[in-house]
Chain A
Amino acid sequence: MIVAELKQISEIRKMIDRYSSILVVGCDSCVAECASGGNRETMLLAAALRLSYKNDNKYPIITVACLDRQCVDDFIDRIAHQVPEHEVVLSLGCGAGVQALARVYTDKPIIPALDTLFIGETEMRGVWQENCLGCGQCKLGYFGAVCPVTRCSKKLMNGPCGGSKNGRCEVHPDIPCGWDMIIRRLDALGELDRLSEYVPPVDWSTSHSGGPRRVVREDQKP
């Protein structure tokens, strides 16, 4: 899922202060799971904005809506009746959600309320861990399903760097060493032999270095 964080209210205010009616739109998918843009957080941000404006003796119209997904047109259409009634849409979707709204509602300013961070998993309640960079050529099968591209700070593909201590990365002791995890897991699975195979360096042309990516499947098209 996409992991994001709510922006500081001062930054949001800076972008929306010029408008007198604001539609705050949440997204009840990935960003709800990471407690940054779901229904609850949408209500929280709307309440915080009302309070913040009230503190400045200003009273713009603030309306709350929450979509099941902000990155799919079928869901985006559900706020079609509310968007024209407001001067601006404040989106609690990820970067993709914000841009999808902008593509559909071409005449309306769409402002992001979140900082989109990474693709990750919920490690435990309140802890989200980055574990996929979207490099475009998944090699998890070689590494016991631990990604060296994201979990190794140096993105090494053929073994540890030698700088880790007690299973922690030398970049920061809070970071577990990706290669320590890879070796322990493959050892537990009895598949350490997989590491004897040489893995070529990552071809970054399939990642973002190759420009914006696009997947087209004719069988899925209307």
Chain B
Amino acid sequence: METKPRTLVVYYCRNLRLFKNGEQKGFARSLPGLKLVAIPCSGKVEAHHLLKTLAGGADGVLVLACGEKACQYLEGSMRSRKRMDYARSWLRQIGIEQERLEFIHCPPMNREALEKTLKEFMSRLESFGTIPASAQVKTS
């Protein structure tokens, strides 16, 4: 019997240029449970997107944003970080680990740093378990 891998949804800003055309599919397959969602700017991610993603079955959500001063839309990256803090405050209210939501200013075009971040986050999610804790899904 094998435990199903944790589901991690990553919203990443397209302007980080982490993947060339079509590469992200292959990259997502390399880490079981990983789902990559490209967005025009991290500022497009609202607090309700983050909570909805968790409610929809994800065990964790990661937002990869450009540096605050590097945001093409000036405020997008900064606003995204604030929304992440707001969404975390909701998780605290609900009684779910706020660390299931993570926001990172990612260096552009740096796949190695991305892989390291994802592995660390995945192992953290393993320690948290599923939502709810009693719903440990197992596959044989």
Contacts and interface: CB of A to CB of B under 8 A. Distances in A.
Interface residues of A, number: 17
B51 A9 contact: no
B52 A47 contact: yes
Nearest to A44: B48
B132 A43 contact: no
A165 interface: no
Given A9-B90, A40-B46, A44-B47, A55 B52 contact: no
Nearest to B47: A44
Contacts of B95: 52, 55
A48 B51 contact: yes
B134 A57 contact: yes
Which residue, of B46, B51, B134, has the highest number of chain A Cβ atoms within 10 A? B51
Interface in B108-140: 131-132, 134-135
Interface of A: 8-10, 40-41, 43-44, 46-48, 50-52, 54-57
Given A48-B93, A51-B94, A55-B96, 13 more contacts: A9-B93, A9-B94, A43-B52, A44-B90, A50-B51, A51-B91, A51-B96, A52-B94, A52-B95, A54-B55, A54-B131, A57-B134, A57-B135
20 contacts: A10-B93, A40-B46, A40-B48, A41-B48, A43-B46, A44-B47, A44-B51, A47-B51, A47-B55, A48-B93, A48-B94, A50-B51, A50-B52, A50-B55, A51-B51, A51-B54, A54-B131, A55-B94, A57-B134, A57-B135
